[in-house]
A = this chain, B = another copy of it.
Amino acid sequence: MGPGPGNPYPEVAQAFARPMLGHLDPAFVALLDETCERLRTVFRTTNPLTLPISGTGSAGMEAAFVNVVEPGSPVVVGVNGVFGQRMCDVAARCGAEVVPVEVPWGQPVPAARLLEAHPSPAVIAVVHAETSTGVRTDVEELARDKGDALLLVDCVTSLGGIPFEADAWGVDIAYSGTQKCLGVPPGLAPLTVSERARERIVPVPRSWYLDLNMIGRYTGPATGTRTYHHTAPISMVAALHAGLGAVLDEGLEASWARHEACGEQLRTGLQALGFELFAAPGHRLPQLTTVWLPEGLDDATTRATLLERYGIEVGGGLGEFAGRVWRVGCMGHTARPRNVVSLLGALAEVLGR
């Protein structure tokens, strides 16, 4: 119950146990195609260029920037936590002119501030669900008024847990991770790129490994010849395929509702135990609840007790909130009432309530 990874769906372990396929085996290629199609369903998109990047969520972030940012490109980034900061670092290494829009941690980034930050940005980038603070930043308004800019959205912690609508909202590039609300171990970064953004992919991105023109010739073509780029991480793709299967068997809306219900249960229970909610009201993520520790509760020893005695992991605060804030995840297969009850019961015992 940390900020991810959560527990994988049981179907994932079964997928890992299957015999190895080659990355050019027709059976694997079919599995990869189906995985991309399932990703389109969870991203709510018809973008042809939708695929798992062969690295963790941060590789997805780097792929998102390195393919469309050229030296000198103005890039506006909303910064209300660690992952907004990371976007600035990644964009700067691509040579971007980074225009950060800083907001206090725990608050969402107002669309107006992003829209007025630069007269003609190439990219406006924002984190939909900040894993460091448990805050949701809404992106619909950004998408509506972005003008010629590409809208780039980090939905590592949001995808599968709360509504995200790539096409309906007008998102150009979105990436996620597998280990949050998709219920799969970390190791891949689902990515989707609109046709509008695809046309702006630079001819030779600084990264060979993350070059979407080349990767797309392996994963992408609906018809025609596939061209080998790099050896796909076969087992992780099979795991993602299985995890997405579990999500879609349940139904995406049902998954959102389950996360919402667990978040509500957790917020109520933690407040009853003396924890105060950290994130701004109206923008709290159900899949990641952030709380101020009650007076007198020691962060490190309590988290160690939870882990060792009860087998429950919760996450500590980051940056200036280390030692003062917890991040409690309820994501993917972990988002079950029984897990919330276990945590609340364990905490009540530890706190002597």
Known: A93-B204, A93-B206, A187-B235. A19 touches B7 (CB 8 A): yes
A275 CB within 8 Å of chain B: no
A62 CB within 8 Å of chain B: yes
- Whether A56 pairs with B56 at a CB distance below 8 angstroms is no
Spot the interface stretch: A30-38, A191-199, A225-233, A289-297: A225-233
Contacts of A24 in B (CB 8 A): 2
Contacts of A61 in B (CB 8 A): 208-209
- Whether A55 pairs with B209 at a CB distance below 8 angstroms is yes
A207 CB within 8 Å of chain B: yes
Number of copies: 2
- Secondary structure at chain A's binding surface: helix, strand, loop or mixed? loop
| CA distance in complex: A208, B209 (Å) | 13
A130 CB within 8 Å of chain B: no
- Whether B55 pairs with A20 at a CB distance below 8 angstroms is no
Contacts of A86 in B (CB 8 A): 208
Contacts of A121 in B (CB 8 A): none
A5 CB within 8 Å of chain B: yes
Contacts of A93 in B (CB 8 A): 204-208
- Whether A17 pairs with B20 at a CB distance below 8 angstroms is no
- Whether A56 pairs with B58 at a CB distance below 8 angstroms is no
| CA distance in complex: A119, B23 (Å) | 41
A29 CB within 8 Å of chain B: no
A8 CB within 8 Å of chain B: yes
A212 CB within 8 Å of chain B: no
| CA distance in complex: A249, B159 (Å) | 42
